[in-house]
Amino acid sequence: MAKFVVQGSFKAGVQWEKFSKEIEAVNPKNAEEKVYTTFGSKHKVERRLIKIESVKEA
């Protein structure tokens, strides 16, 4: 499995917070999916409130 750096922002209250997360995944699409599930479960953020700007291999 490769490591990917996923960057983007998510809605926290009334403002957008930027994030950068290192994810271990099979491909870039899988890394995006893991970010959605992680933010959904830990921060209770809906998928539509997460904007992924880039996925790069680390």
pLDDT, one tens digit per residue, over 9-53 is: 999 999 999 999 999 999 999 999 999 999 999 989 999 999 999
Contact 1, 24 (CB under 8 A): yes
* pLDDT of 54: 97
Strand locations in 1-58 (E):
2-12, 15-25, 50-57
Pick the CATH number of 2-57 from 3.40.50.1000, 3.30.830.10, 3.40.50.300, 3.10.20.10: 3.10.20.10
> What is the distance between the alpha carbons of residues 47 and 41, in angstroms, rounded to a whole number?
11
Rounded (5°) CA angle 1-31-38: 115
